[in-house]
A and B are shown apart, each in its own frame.
Chain A
Amino acid sequence: MVAPLLRMLARVLAVLTRRRDDEDLDQELDSHLAMLVDDYRRSGLSERDARRAAMVAVGGRAQLREEHRRTRGLQWLEDLIVDLRYACRACARQPGFTMTVVVTLAIGIGANTAMFSVVRSVLLEPRPYANADRLVTLSELWPQLPGPRPVSMLNYQDWVRQNTVFDRIAAVSWGSVTVSGVGESVYVNGSTVSPAYFDVFGLRAALGRTFIPGEDQPGRDRVVVIGHRLWTSQFAANPAIVGTSIRLDGQSYTIVGVLPPHSSIEFLDPQIWRPLTFDTLPPRGSRTLRLAVARLKPGVTRDQAQTEMQVIAKRLAAQYPESNRDYGVVVEALTGPVGPSVETSLYLLFGAAGLVLIIACVNLAALALTRGGTRTREVGIRLALGATRGRLMRQFLTEHLVLGMCGGLVGIALGYGLVTIMKAAIPTTGLRAAFPPDTVIGVDGWGWLFAVALSAISGLSFGLAPTIVATRQSLTAAITPGGGPLMTWSRARGRHFLIAVQLAGAFVLVVSASALVRGFVALSARVESGFTATNVLTAQVPTPYRRFESAVALNAHLDEIARRIRSLPGTRDVAFADSLPTQGASYLTRFQIVGRATDQFLRRPLGGFKVVSPSYFQAVGLRLLAGRVLDDGDRDGAPFVVVVNETLARTHFPGASAVGQRLLMRRIPLEAATSAAGPARQVRLTADLEWTIVGVIVDEGVDPFGNRVAEPTVYATREQHPRANLALVVRTEGDPALMQEPVRKAVSAFDPNQALADIAPLETLAPADVAPDRLRSLLISMFAAIAVALAALGLYGVVSFAVAQRTREIGIRVALGARRLDVGMLVVRQTMTIVTVGLAAGVGLALIVSPTLRAFLYGVPAVNVASILSVAGVLTGVALIACYVPARHATTLDPLKALRQE
């Protein structure tokens, strides 16, 4: 058993000690001969005869040495070493070709390595909790509004009681808070959750514990679990933190646990969790839970759960028609912080990068094929000397493998660069964060492995065609001077096929890129329409409810902040708003148009309700379309007025003026809207109040959660609809970034307990909102440009080569009287045939790919006649340019010289 292994090892080692072993054998044979000669001499032969007889008896020295090598060593390993050495020399001998191959492959492999690394770290990295594939979210579906929406607490309780498909289920509500008492006050993303929440994720505390049953009861609910990041940033990773108390929105809580690192388990990356509690349950029509999370029972699919939840929703709708009619439930896989759109776009980009690599390989194959001609003679001589075709094939493939690896190494360096660029360009925090906050993105060992494997595959695949062609050639044709028969067009069919493939691939990429760019432009136009993002500074101003006894006190507090900031040099307008431009409205309202058929409350149309200062419109440059904007006269006690956006006016007052119309709406009391945990509590809306529409403004932007349609929205002043936790909007004279410190100082000089969060120029927020779209368009455009350049180069190379090969034929044609124009047209016509075939295939491919793109286009069609025609036009133009030079060369050939060539 051991002997064969030992022998194999010895043979591998023998390859390395080849020279010494040869010398050893020589010496041994020398002494063998000498002894034999001695013996023959002793038996009476002459010196000369003895030597001759001895040599005959021992046998041929060269054959023996060769055979000995083969016995002791490994032929293939020796061949491989020889081939590698030869390949390196061959590469060095033709630096131009080598550089072209290495750069082309490096671009393809670099792009793929980068995309692979990003996809792996973002999508494939297992999530840090158990049974991640069984985790789902449950939301309600509301009539008239798209997408998953908040959930009624009473409905949630019925789900818990009636379902048979979930192991664990927990409710989640909003719960961001100001943390004070430890260092500077900070405003922290948080959630309020049912105690079972952490069990759903199978998450244990790193320190202390998570919630225990019963901690959602009033009186026992002053406990809090904090995230690892908050623990390190705010509490200096103090291991004795468990059991100490902190102040949240001015109230005292006890820290019971700290979560392990990398356990950000939600969209908004909360860092603080409190139990979800109710003094009294809100009515069924009050939908104030953000969502529910649940773990499916083993063996239950999401579809089964969806079906059962649908049945339960129907039952509830029949039971409580006034609050539940037309409401549904949607069960979605918990995608984690990475939304499906990020996932799709990453795979899309990965696909595009793959296509670039394929085009690169095809291009190099065509290039190598044309160059294969230059090695005809070398191959011929080798064949004549007795090399087998298999041996030649191995040598050729080794050469391409070496080229592939060189390209791969440069490609890995490029990949590192590309990953760095992508990381810098994609926001990782905030509402539109593309990745989970703790994601570590980088090229790791797997990335290297991927790149090396890809290099090998690329090297071999682009080397395959030239290898086969080179080793298939006939022996005589190769060494006959003058190169055998006339090169005919049909013999170059393989190359033409490759060019057509490249063109088809390039076509798909260019069409996709143009669609994505158009989508991006449309999106940017929509996001930026309506407001001016330059010179605007924004910040969150958390104002916990319990700090202010009344709306009047709160507004006085905000007035003073505004006054102080306005008095800073360099500020123009100071305003508050309960959500920033680009972020839509944070609250929804139901309204009844006065004079139309009245509907019961829960059946009224919904719209966004945005609370702003009158100066808001000017501060962000929202254009007034009709009537007037809000002004300082619209105070408490004055008639209730609102400004509506274009969409509301168009939807509800088509063809008529909205100004002067009246809406019945109820107010959310300050107490409910102000506490961070507020929406989960019972919301007692006021009675219907009558609001007069005084003006219409342009739509100001989009909903952050991917629902990119402007909603009907009304704007009211904070005097007429008090609201806490507003955002500050400051229009500055110059660079808003320079105003950050003065604004912060002014606020803390006024009130050291007033935290300011997320202070940043609006411009950095607005682009962040579209950054994934921008990056997507940019990358795919880059890929498309590379593809077009490669295809053009390939076409140029192949056409030039064809013209060079046909020099004699063209010479004969010209000598026989063909006009120069005819010769030029011949080349162009034959090129265009390839181009037409390639483009036709491209159109087909583009139609197949286009549905994938639709998600990113915001209504722009992925493939239309205009885009197909224009891309085809551009590519044909590029092809014409690529074949112009060789065609021109053909027309200017001197027939005499051409015929004398070779």
Chain B
Amino acid sequence: MDNRSSILQGTLDLMVLKTLDAMGPMHGYGLARRIEQISEDALLVNQGTIYLCLIRLVQKRWISAKWGTSENNRKAKFYAITKAGRKQLQAEASNWERLSGVIGRLLRLSPSA
């Protein structure tokens, strides 16, 4: 649902976009594993949740989906980032950098200063 913690959702979206941008087309399983590795299970409650994120991004036309065959010959749906998705990624990424810079500086402030 859209109203679930939107920061988490936004993070997950960004992560999916970045992963697809960096690694090329991937299926849902691969994406879930990848994100689990990076985020150490902080973002995905369970692997199924990735599909809610994927359908949302497909509907926004930031990624596209196509049925294909996996490396070990299983039928799987492959997701690829679109042009609109790249643009969105760029915008979001710079947003994040700015925001994390701010938060970082805020957290580094020592009580005595």
Contacts and interface: CB of A to CB of B under 8 A. Distances in A.
A36 interface: yes
Interface stretch (B14-22, B48-56, B99-107): B48-56
Contacts of B49: 59, 64
Interface in A31-52: 31-32, 34-36, 38
Interface in B12-47: 27-29, 32, 45-47
Interface residues of A, number: 29
Interface of B is mostly: mixed
Contacts of A61: 48
A777 B48 CA distance: 73
A650 interface: no
Contacts of A11: 59
Contacts of B76: 28, 31-32, 35
Contacts of A34: 74
Nearest to B32: A32
B1 A67 contact: yes
A58 B48 CA distance: 5
Given A58-B46, A59-B46, A71-B52, A32 B29 contact: yes
Contacts of A32: 27-29, 32, 47-48, 76
Nearest to B45: A59
A57 B47 CA distance: 6
A804 to B, nearest CB: 47
Contacts of B98: none
B90 interface: no
A36 B55 contact: no
Interface in B81-101: 84, 88
A70 interface: yes
A897 interface: no
A58 B45 CA distance: 9
A70 B59 contact: no
B61 A58 contact: no
A31 B52 CA distance: 16
A59 B61 CA distance: 26
B55 A68 contact: yes
B29 A57 contact: no
A4 to B, nearest CB: 8
A838 to B, nearest CB: 50
Contact of A67 (B47, B52, B88): B52
B47 A58 contact: yes
Contacts of A7: 56, 59-60
B66 to A, nearest CB: 12
Contact of B1 (A31, A57, A59, A70): A70
Contacts of B56: 7, 71-72
A331 B84 CA distance: 71
A32 B58 CA distance: 18
B72 A38 contact: yes
A27 B65 CA distance: 14
Nearest to A59: B46
B11 interface: no
Contacts of A29: 48, 51
Given A31-B76, A35-B76, A70-B1, A10 B59 contact: yes
A58 B70 CA distance: 19
Contacts of B28: 28, 32
A28 B51 CA distance: 9
Given A27-B75, A31-B74, A64-B48, A3 B60 contact: yes
A231 B51 CA distance: 75
A38 B47 CA distance: 15
B48 A6 contact: no
A25 interface: yes
Q: Which of A28, A57, A64 gathers the greatest number of chain B CB atoms within 10 Å?
A: A28
Contacts of B72: 35, 38
A68 B58 CA distance: 13
A31 B59 contact: no
B29 A36 contact: yes
Contacts of B29: 31-32, 35-36
A687 B58 CA distance: 103
A24 B66 CA distance: 11
Nearest to B1: A70
A72 B65 CA distance: 14
Contacts of A56: 46
A422 to B, nearest CB: 54
Given A3-B84, A68-B55, 15 more contacts: A3-B61, A7-B56, A28-B76, A28-B77, A31-B75, A31-B76, A31-B77, A32-B28, A32-B47, A32-B76, A35-B27, A35-B29, A58-B47, A59-B49, A61-B48
16 contacts: A6-B60, A27-B75, A27-B77, A28-B51, A31-B74, A34-B74, A35-B76, A36-B29, A38-B72, A57-B46, A59-B49, A64-B48, A67-B1, A68-B55, A70-B1, A71-B56
Interface of B: 1-2, 27-29, 32, 45-49, 51-52, 55-56, 58-62, 70, 72, 74-77, 84, 88
Interchain residue pairs A-B with the least CB separation, the first 3 = A59-B46, A10-B59, A59-B48
